[in-house]
Amino acid sequence: MSGLRLIASYPKSGNTWLRAFLASHLRGGQPIDLNADLARIGTLTSRSLQDLHAGLEHADLMPPEVALLRPLTSRRIAQEQPGLYKTHDSNLVPPGAGEPAIPADAIDRAVYIVRDPRDVAISAAHHFGWSLAVSVDRMADASFRLGHSSTRLNVNVEQWVSSWSAHVESWLDAGDLHLLPLRYEDLLADPLEGFTQLCRFLELDDTRPAVGRSLEACSFSALAGQETRTGFRERYHASTAPFFRAGGAGGWRTALAPELAERLVAEQGRVMARLGYR
C-alpha cells in the first residue's frame, strides 16, 4: 500500500465511529480499548506526527507557513508512513498556500462521511463547549480552522476546515480522488450495508459475519459504556458532555431552536439539498 487512506469529515460527523469500527475490524472484530486501539487509525494532523515528518516544530511556525508546509509533509507521510488516517481538513487551499493540506497525489483513497448539519451543530456545541448559536455561526464561517494555538499548545496542527458547505463540497466534488462518500444517517439506518461498502472500498474483509462482529464490538452502547468507565482521551477539554453522547439522527428536531434550524438551512441549504437533507 502506498499513499494515504483517509477517513475525512467535518468535525462531529461520525469519524470516530468509523475509526472504532475499523480498529475492531483490523483485530478480527474484537472489542477495542478506545484509548489505545483507535491509534490504529491515527490522526493525520497529530502534532508529533507532523513535527516528525516536517523536521520542524509547528509551534515555531505562523499559520501561513504551516499552510505552505502541510502539503509537503503530507507527501512525506504518504511515502514514509502510509496507511489509514482520520482528518478534519477540508480539501480547500488555505490562505498563503498553493494547494490543499493533503494534495491529491498523496491520497490513495478517501472515505468522506457527511452528516445532517443540524445534528452536527448540536454535537459540535457539546464537544467544543459552544452555545448552539455559536455552533451554527462556526458552521457558516468560511475561515474556520482547528488546531490553532492561542495561549497553549494544541495536540493537533492547524487544519483549514472552512464552512460546513465548503468542506463537504471540497471533498465530494473533487474529481481527482478515489472517493467513497457515506452519509452518517445511512450508516445508522443500515449499518451492515454501509460498513460492508466501507470494507470493500478499503480492501478489508467484507463478509457479513466479519462486518457484523466488528459492528457489535463498536456499538454505541459499547463505546459509551467504555467512556463512562475509563474516560476517552480524545474528549475535548472544554467539552460539556460525554464524547459518545447520543449517536443518533434527527436529534435536532427537539434540541435545536426552530430559528437556529432555519438559519442553518438558509446558510447551508443548497448543499443540504444536494445530500438529501430536507
Interacting residues with other proteins (CB under 8 A): 35-36, 47-48, 51, 53-62, 64-65, 68-69, 72-73, 76, 149-153, 155, 230-233, 237
Shortest reach from residue 59's CB to other proteins, in Å? 5
Shortest reach from residue 62's CB to other proteins, in Å? 5
Of 51 and 108, the one with the shorter C-beta distance to other proteins is 51
Separation between Cα atoms, residue 75 and residue 53, nearest integer Å: 9
Sequence-distant (6+) residues with CB within 8 A of 92 are 100, 160, 162, 166, 167, 170
Phi, psi of 47 (to 5 degrees): -60, -40
What is the residue type of 175?
G
Shortest reach from residue 125's CB to other proteins, in Å? 23
Phi, psi of 15 (to 5 degrees): -60, -45
Shortest reach from residue 96's CB to other proteins, in Å? 8
Of 23 and 111, the one with the shorter C-beta distance to other proteins is 23
Of 82 and 269, the one with the shorter C-beta distance to other proteins is 82
Shortest reach from residue 49's CB to other proteins, in Å? 10
Of 60 and 175, the one with the shorter C-beta distance to other proteins is 60
Shortest reach from residue 18's CB to other proteins, in Å? 22
Of 36 and 257, the one with the shorter C-beta distance to other proteins is 36
Of 98 and 250, the one with the shorter C-beta distance to other proteins is 98
What's the distance, CA 34 to chain centroid?
Answer: 16
CA distances for 18 relative to 42, 45, 69, 95, 188, angstroms: 12, 17, 28, 30, 11
Residues 46, 233: contact at Cβ < 8 Å?
no
What's the distance, CA 79 to chain centroid?
Answer: 22
Sign of CA dihedral 205, 208, 214, 219: positive
